[in-house]
Amino acid sequence: MFEKLEAIEKTYEELTNQMMDPAVIGDQTRYTKVARQHRELESIVEKFRELKKITRDIDGSRELIRESDDAEMRELAAAELPELEELQTKVEDELKILLLPKDPNDEKNVILEVRAGTGGEEACLFAAEVLRMYQRYAEQQGWRFQIADVSETGLGGIQKGEAIIEGERVFSKLKYESGVHRVQRVPQTETSGRIHTSAVTVAVLPEAEEVDVKIEAKDLRVDTFCSSGPGGQSVNTTYSAVRLTHLPTGLVVSMQDEKSQIKNREKAMRILRSRLLELEMQKQQDAISAERRSQVGSGDRSEKIRTYNFQENRVTDHRIGLTLHKLDLIMEGDLRDLIDAVVTHYQAEKLKQETERQVAVA
């Protein structure tokens, strides 16, 4: 592992020098590529340098214990050594996770889709709250959250909501949010005070770029129509809404959020490409053995992943057995502890799987 880390550090230093080279700075395309590679290696190099410092401190403590004539210094070094060795193990484990094969989609923006499931109007109301929850989380992360399409209901809920989230490593944070989100609470429409259980589905798709998914013009049917939602006379009386139909798959994407037909078509194409990429990813996922899927989890929307209990101010993630009693804060976008715990869990599972693979090969 250390040889690999030394090579990564050398590459990182070379990239650092390139970023200061006037020839690279003057070539925007090249500079962007170098900067992205530099950023991808930065966390590994920082952690490796931390490990090297800890290793030097351990060597220094052991040398003091062996050779120092000062009894007090030897005692201090002996007391410090176990803590340093424990920290060394922790940092080594963190490095192993950082060295795992990268998900090629981790750096991508996402298409977020929230749909009301079982539970009637209460599910629609919760779907609207979940969409707002992710919007607030995105704002806290410094990401750009852009509503793409919303189908509203009469009481303030939504049947479906789609958003485009843009920022640094968005998919790496949100990719495990896909699944069924269950809510337990007394609905606003309930007069007897009985707790109801409803559900919404969340899908997180990596935004596909044109190089990821090629859509031929002959495979696409484009229809335009007057939008039917709120937005004023100028929206509703012009053919600004767009419906794209991908003929080979039958996928349909409609967009009427913008007053401009061009902007609606652009948004619809972004979502269509991402859905086509999801189909391709699903084909690859289906080829994985059932045993591996049970270990790592597919994160598809059919899995019940989380329960939100408002009466107890509790949220439980069923995949990792984590319960937090701060649902009020979570619904305001404070998802960091929850999301980080899930990401860490799946990283540990992948590390275990990679270790088992290496043992099998050896």
Same domain, 152 and 231: no
* pLDDT for the residue 201: 93
Query: Could you give the count of Cα atoms lying within 13 Å of 353 in the half-sphere of its Cβ?
Result: 15
Residue 269 belongs to a domain with what CATH number? 3.30.160.20
Q: Residue 118 domain-assigned?
A: yes
Q: Which residues pair with 185 in a beta bridge?
A: 196
Residue found under tokens 């190099």: 45
Q: Which of 67, 98, 129 is the last residue of a domain?
A: 98
Same domain, 37 and 94: yes
Same domain, 60 and 36: yes
- Beta carbons of 100 and 354 less than 8 angstroms apart: yes
* pLDDT for the residue 290: 43
Same domain, 13 and 79: yes
Counting the structural domains of the chain, the total is 3
pTM: 0.68
3-state secondary structure of 271: helix
Same domain, 127 and 180: yes
Same domain, 202 and 116: yes
Element containing residue 290 per DSSP (H, E) = helix 290-296
Cβ-proximal residues to 299 (8 Å cutoff; 6+ apart), any chain:
175, 176, 178, 179, 305
Tokens of 182: 């269950």
Strands in the chain per DSSP E: 110-116, 144-152, 158-166, 179-185, 196-206, 220-225, 241-246, 251-255, 304-309, 314-317, 322-324
* pLDDT for the residue 353: 78
Give the C-alpha separation, 22 to 10, whole Å. 21
- Beta carbons of 144 and 167 less than 8 angstroms apart: yes
Q: Residue 91 domain-assigned?
A: yes
How far is the first Cα of the chain from the last one, in angstroms, to the nearest whole number? 15
Same domain, 263 and 332: no
* pLDDT for the residue 297: 41
* pLDDT for the residue 261: 84
Give the C-alpha separation, 280 to 101, whole Å. 20
* pLDDT for the residue 278: 81
- Taking only Cα atoms into account, the Rg of the chain, rounded to an integer number of angstroms, comes to 25
Tell me which residues of the chain have a pLDDT lower than 50: 230-235, 288-301
Residue 357 belongs to a domain with what CATH number? 3.30.70.1660
Q: Which of 98, 123, 144 is the last residue of a domain?
A: 98
Q: Residue 292 domain-assigned?
A: no
* pLDDT for the residue 192: 67
